[in-house]
Amino acid sequence: MSTTERPRILVVGGGYVGLYAARRILKKMRYGEATVTVVDPRSYMTYQPFLPEAAAGSISPRHVVVPLRRVLPGAEVLTGRVTSIDQDRKVARVEPLVGEAYEVPFDYLVVALGAVSRTFPVPGLAEVGIGMKGVEEAIGLRNHVLEQLDKAESTTDPDIRRKALTFVFVGGGFAGAETIGEVEDLARDAAKYYPSISRDDMRFVLVDAADKILPEVGPELGKWGLRHLQQRGIEVYLGTSLESCVDGHVVLKNGLEVDSNTLVWTAGVKPNPVLKEYGLPLGPRGHVDTTPTLQVQGMDGVWAAGDNAQVPDLAVGEGAWCPPNAQHALRQAKVLGDNVVSEMRGFPQREYKHKNKGAVAGLGLHKGVAMINLGKMKLKLKGRLAWYMHRGYHGMAVPTFNRKIRVLADWTLAMFLKREVVSLGAIESPRDEFYEAAAPVTAAAQAKSAEPAPAAQAKEPAKAS
């Protein structure tokens, strides 16, 4: 029995699935039928396929994110983390950004936490690695790369210069291949404004433990993507892994050693580990185990979808699971939203079934690969045409009409204006300059206040006795 006046639908996570599921529920349910509560540590959803372009400066970072409160005006949005769930009492423990934790009761639960970077116990990785799961990381990577060019231009030390101009990327899937392609484009363009730096002075290295890159687009296009990156001067090492990167000294399992200030980690993702605290049945890799209707196995009123769920892929057959990509997440969210409303009204659930329509990847400006499923045929594209396909698909898929227009405007302006190559690294620590100015004054004032007060002097000379 809920403690609220009307049933509460608790959506844990405001990412792709959380946002679209909440929108679908709000659209389908009647006014006042239920309260929709969305909890996420961030007040916005990030469209992750655009992160490489944001890192390269092709898209404004603000246009890659969607504010939850703006697009979910009928929902209650809480900025915090759900750290645990009591399934018997039907309450979730929420830790807000500030203040004490509190409990939120619910009648229906949607688990849409997504995934986090999959890391390994590599010495030095936590200290020097840069991820690519959030817009903050994309902005940080862009600023960092341009700062390395600034360092190389301003030093005469060849070792410092070489380390600054060496860029290592670990992971050859979509995120890794797209990011290194975009960042190499950015660095190549930026080098035009540095008299002592050329593309030949830079070293880009891509590492993957598998024997191929871009497995999502198939072996033929993957090989083309590999040749394309190599033709651009990018070193690709397959069948090897990162052994250590302490203080930027990168050591690969194949014996290669390089010094680099830049290590970008895109070696896959894993379900959010906090799922273990939710009392849900989990699969062998930590995903929430669901039925084809997206309901959690053996639980009523609980659903899961997206990267944190293992959803049976009915279009492929028994034993197959839906891959963790935006194509499935969007469609799963809509079915999930419909099923939540159906459950409230006592109607049967609908199974999720979607045949993969293909995959697209951008490898920098005017470069990409695309595989489109057309029934029994597969259309394979590469180069500029595939790049147009990549932009067209994701331009349509990015949430809200507002963001579609803004992204299109960014792309249109980029056709006529040169790429911005300014670094705003100071934005990551905006108070440093003020602190440097204020700290000496504050310290002097504190020292002065700590001095003992001078002895009071007599106002009149002492009288002789």
Alpha carbons 382 and 227: distance in angstroms, whole number = 12
Closest CA to 209 of 133, 266, 273: 266
Closest CA to 171 of 254, 262, 266, 263: 266
User: H or E segment at 103?
Assistant: strand 102-105
Other beta carbons less than 10 A from residue 231's beta carbon:
8
Strand partners, 39: 12, 78
**Mean pLDDT (10-residue bins), the chain, 465 residues:** 72 94 94 94 93 93 94 95 95 95 96 90 93 92 94 94 97 94 95 94 96 91 95 96 95 96 92 93 93 95 94 89 87 96 94 90 94 85 94 91 94 88 71 78 70 57 46
The SS3 of residue 71 is helix
Alpha carbons 283 and 266: distance in angstroms, whole number = 23
What type of residue sits at position 258?
Answer: V
Write down the pLDDT at residue 465.
39
* DSSP assigned state of 451: S
Write down the pLDDT at residue 453.
61
pTM of the entire predicted model: 0.87
**Spatial strand order in the sheet of 234-238:** 129-130, 262-265, 166-170, 203-208, 234-238
Longest dimension (CA), the chain: 121
Do 287 and 308 touch, CB atoms closer than 8 A? yes
Closest CA to 222 of 182, 171, 172, 287: 172
Q: What is the dihedral of CA 408, 413, 419, 421, to 10 degrees?
A: -90
Strands (E) in 197-273, as ranges, are 203-208, 234-238, 242-244, 249-252, 257-259, 262-265, 269-271
DSSP string for 407-437? HHHHHHHHHHSPPP----GGGGSTTHHHHHH
Give the β-pairing of 368-374 and 377-382. antiparallel
Alpha carbons 256 and 173: distance in angstroms, whole number = 21
Token couple for 231: 């033709």
Give the β-pairing of 129-130 and 115-117. unpaired
Closest CA to 206 of 234, 244, 232: 234
Do 82 and 12 touch, CB atoms closer than 8 A? yes
Give the β-pairing of 257-259 and 249-252. antiparallel
* Residue 87 CB contacts under 8 Å (≥ 6 apart), including other chains: 278, 279, 280, 299, 302
Write down the pLDDT at residue 458.
47
- HSE at residue 161, side-chain half, CA atoms within 13 A, is 12
Closest CA to 403 of 413, 393, 395: 395
